[in-house]
Amino acid sequence: MGGRPGSRIMVMRSGCSDVSLSPMRLAWARSCGLALLALFCGCASPEARIRRNPELFESFPPEAQEAIRQGTIEVGFTPEMVKMALGGPARVLQRRTAEADTTIWSYSGSRYRSSMRPVDTHRSYRDRHGRLRTYSDWTWVDAGQFVDYEVLRVEFRDGKVVAIETPDGGR
């Protein structure tokens, strides 16, 4: 049962017998877990970041304040404005060209890709005479993995946003 880096194998067991969950129920359980996690992690919202630093927020122009409340950014924003609207970046890149140095903030998401597969397992049990017996059986495992994808790139030059890049080209 070797796996690729980033893959995860899950076998659901209850006592000595396997609990079989359909892929749809497993996906529903994951969704509920992620929803609860999002509910308890209120720090990931612009409102929570505004509450943590109201003085900084009040120093921004009214148009910027409205965009930050909506979780959006505009060309001309400072790094502090972007951080308050979107939170910290997943990665920071530096681009050096003959014209200028550019700092790039990359925001990413993660998606779980499920892959249910049957695996041959060997089970042991004691028969009615106390002898140890072994038999083979199939168990379904989730050999899924989390796949990262880029959501947004923000380019800064001289302390201001000069470009906003999305994978689909939209706003």
Number of domains in the chain: 1
Residue 147 lies in a domain: yes
Among 26-30, 31-35, 89-93, 142-146, the minimum mean pLDDT is found in 31-35
Let me know if residue 6 belongs to a domain: no
Residue 91 reports pLDDT greater than 70: yes
In a domain, 123, yes or no: yes
Q: Is residue 66 part of a domain?
A: no
**Per-residue model confidence (pLDDT) at position 38:** 46
Asked if the model's pLDDT at residue 95 lies above 90, the reply is yes
**Residue 170 resides in a domain:** no
What's the angle, vertex CA 28, arms to CA 24 and CA 29, rounded to 5?
A: 120
How high is the pLDDT of residue 61?
A: 96
> What range defines the domain where residue 108 resides?
13-40+89-165
What are the C-alpha distances in Å from 5 to residues 10, 85, 108, 142? 15, 33, 19, 15
The pLDDT confidence band at residue 5, using thresholds 50, 70 and 90, is: very low
By percentage, how much of the chain surpasses pLDDT 70? 73
- Residue 51: both structure tokens together: 């509450």
Domain assignment present for 109: yes
The answer as to whether 171 is a domain residue is no
Q: Which carries the bigger pLDDT value, residue 38 or residue 84? A: 84
Q: Quote the mean pLDDT of the chain.
A: 81
Q: Report if residue 136 sits inside a domain.
A: yes
